[in-house]
Amino acid sequence: MEQKGYRGRTDTYRYIRLNLERYLALGVGTSDGPSWETFAAMLGRENQRNKQGGPISRDSARKIFERASKDARDKKLEMLTGVPQRKQQPSHLPATWRPTPETAPTPATFTARSSRSPPSLSVTARLVRARLRKRSRTYASSSPDGAGVDPSSQKEKAKGNGQLS
């Protein structure tokens, strides 16, 4: 099967992409569909082999199917929205691509009176730091095996038990 279009992908990937609608109709990849072993056997009956020429394993069949279905879903979303679903290097973007007004970054506006960030940001940052401190204290006090406990408190406990001199 010499077919272009899926650079860097195996023949089995290409085959699944071509027959994806049929496999989705059979329920492949769903809880009530065929198992991955059954799907791998189905691919074997359709003359699909791994790169060594052996039968495709259930794990390989699962990974290839999930990648092919995700790529097809991303391609469909890209066609509908015009926005690539995968991160692209700037050199790989089309030469005619320009950011739309919705995606273009808007410059931050600050008044000359204040050089600090808006109060909502600083309040949010303080709340996040406070929550993190609270979690770390909770973790240190609730650890049954002593993991995460302050080393100085462990030394004090050891002195009380007569373990350190």
Tell me, what's the pLDDT at 18? 93
Question: pLDDT band for position 43 (50/70/90)?
Answer: very high
Pairwise pLDDT comparison (87 vs 36), residue with the higher score: 36
Mean of pLDDT values over 22-37: 93
- Does residue 151 register a pLDDT over 80? no
Q: CA-to-CA distance for 165 and 163, rounded, in angstroms? A: 7
Higher local confidence (pLDDT), 156 or 49 = 49
User: How does residue 165 score in pLDDT terms, banded at 50, 70 and 90?
Assistant: very low
Is residue 130 predicted with pLDDT exceeding 60? Answer: yes
What was the pLDDT predicted at 133?
77
pLDDT of residue 91: 74
User: Residue 145: what pLDDT?
Assistant: 56
pLDDT at 155 over 80: no
More confident residue, 46 or 89: 46
Q: Which of 1, 27, 70 is nearest to 42 (CA)?
A: 27
Percent with pLDDT over 90 in the chain: 33
Checking if the pLDDT of 2 tops 60, the result is no
Phi, psi of 134 (to 5 degrees): -65, -45
Nearest 10 degrees: Cα torsion 35, 39, 40, 46:
160
* Least reliable range by pLDDT among 15-19, 55-59, 144-148: 144-148
Q: So what's the pLDDT on residue 106?
A: 62
